[in-house]
């Protein structure tokens, strides 16, 4: 157990894992950049993480793509973050990138930040979703609404992961919607071209189309 924690406990490796938190697979070089250390050093870290089965690798040509081995690793990282935030408040320089990421970002594979919390608030307000402390449910009205929007709920339901999970947002400190539903909704928004990923970051850029879309669908001005 200490071993796993120690792996996460190195700043370079923590950066690597955080970079992988959005569920995408990244190359060793990209991770080296994210970690802020040289390629050699990164390579060493990656093989350690792989040894402990925290990450998987898949070769494609001369690239090697790394990803988290599963959602349990993501959840562990989130729970560590949650504890880290309850600690003594640290002065951190607010940067522009920071503001971006507070505004809208992905959290493993669903939306977080003001955007994610705003969507959750709206869905709860109009009885589309009921969120408990550790689980949530989509109402009939909610299913109808999401289907109307083009979200494939049946596919989400078929997957073996938790269907609807509240996920405490580390910037807003309020829950947003995770689980298969959150992922399906996020996917649909990508499809619709409402949001785009910002390069080298978990931050999201909301397109003009998205601005209109979120207003119409969720009465959300972003």
Partner DNA sequence: CCGATACTTCGGCCGTAGCCGAAGCAATTG
Partner DNA sequence: CAATTGCTTCGGCTACGGCCGAAGTATCGG
Per CB under 8 A, residues contacting a copy of itself are 1-11, 13-15, 18, 51-54, 69-70, 72-73, 75-77, 79-84, 86-88, 132-135, 162, 165
For the CB of residue 9, give the shortest distance to a copy of itself in the complex, in Å: 3
- Given 8, 19, 21, 37, the residue binding DNA (CB under 7 A): 37
Return the number of the residue (61 or 89) whose C-beta is nearest a copy of itself: 89
Return the number of the residue (64 or 122) whose C-beta is nearest DNA: 64
160 CB neighbour count, 10 Å cutoff: 5
DSSP H helix total and E strand total for the chain: 11, 11
- Given 61, 87, 88, 89, the residue binding DNA (CB under 7 A): 61
Q: Nearest-CA neighbor of 116 among 176, 41, 159, 54?
A: 176
For the CB of residue 216, give the shortest distance to a copy of itself in the complex, in Å: 32
Return the number of the residue (55 or 203) whose C-beta is nearest a copy of itself: 55
At 52, list the tokens. Answer: 């402990």
**Alpha carbon 62 to its chain's center:** 28
d(CA 180, CA 56): 21
For the CB of residue 64, give the shortest distance to DNA in the complex, in Å: 4
Query: Is 11 near DNA (CB under 7 A)?
Result: yes
Q: Nearest-CA neighbor of 81 among 160, 164, 14?
A: 14
Query: Is 161 near DNA (CB under 7 A)?
Result: no
Query: Is 17 near DNA (CB under 7 A)?
Result: no
Q: Which stretches of 6-76 are assigned E, i.e. beta strand?
A: 26-27, 55-60, 63-68
Stretch that binds DNA, among 36-44, 74-82, 164-172, 208-216 (CB under 7 A): 36-44
For the CB of residue 66, give the shortest distance to DNA in the complex, in Å: 8
- Kind and range of the H or E run holding 129: strand 129-131
Return the number of the residue (24 or 64) whose C-beta is nearest DNA: 64
- Sequence-distant contacts of 85-91: CB under 8 A, at least 24 apart: 85/170, 85/173
Query: Is 59 near DNA (CB under 7 A)?
Result: yes
- Given 5, 53, 58, 63, the residue binding DNA (CB under 7 A): 63
Return the number of the residue (45 or 202) whose C-beta is nearest DNA: 45
- CA angle, residues 102, 67, 5, in degrees to nearest 5: 80
d(CA 105, CA 169): 11
Task: List contacts with DNA (CB under 7 A).
Answer: 6, 10-12, 27-30, 37-48, 57, 59, 61-64
């Amino acid at each position: 157990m200490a071993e796993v924690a120690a792996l996460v406990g190195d700043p370079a490796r923590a950066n690597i894992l955080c970079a992988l938190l959005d569920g995408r697979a990244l190359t060793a070089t990209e991770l080296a950049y994210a970690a802020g250390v040289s390629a050699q050093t990164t390579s060493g870290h990656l093989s350690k993480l792989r040894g402990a089965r925290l990450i998987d690798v898949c070769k494609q040509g001369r690239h090697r793509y790394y990803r988290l081995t599963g959602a349990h690793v993501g959840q562990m990282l989130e729970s560590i973050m949650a504890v880290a935030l309850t600690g003594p408040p640290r002065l951190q320089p607010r940067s522009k990138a920071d503001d971006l990421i507070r505004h809208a970002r992905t959290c493993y594979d669903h939306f977080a930040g003001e955007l994610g919390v705003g969507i959750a608030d709206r869905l709860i307000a109009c009885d589309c979703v009921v969120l408990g402390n550790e689980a949530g449910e989509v109402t009939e009205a909610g299913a109808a609404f999401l289907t109307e929007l083009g979200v494939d709920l049946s596919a989400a339901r078929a997957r073996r992961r938790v269907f609807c999970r509240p996920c405490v947002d580390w910037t807003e400190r309020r829950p947003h919607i995770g689980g298969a539903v959150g992922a399906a909704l996020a996917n649909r928004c990508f499809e619709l071209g409402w949001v785009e990923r910002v390069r080298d970051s978990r931050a999201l850029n909301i397109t003009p189309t998205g601005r209109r879309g979120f207003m119409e669908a969720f009465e959300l001005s972003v």
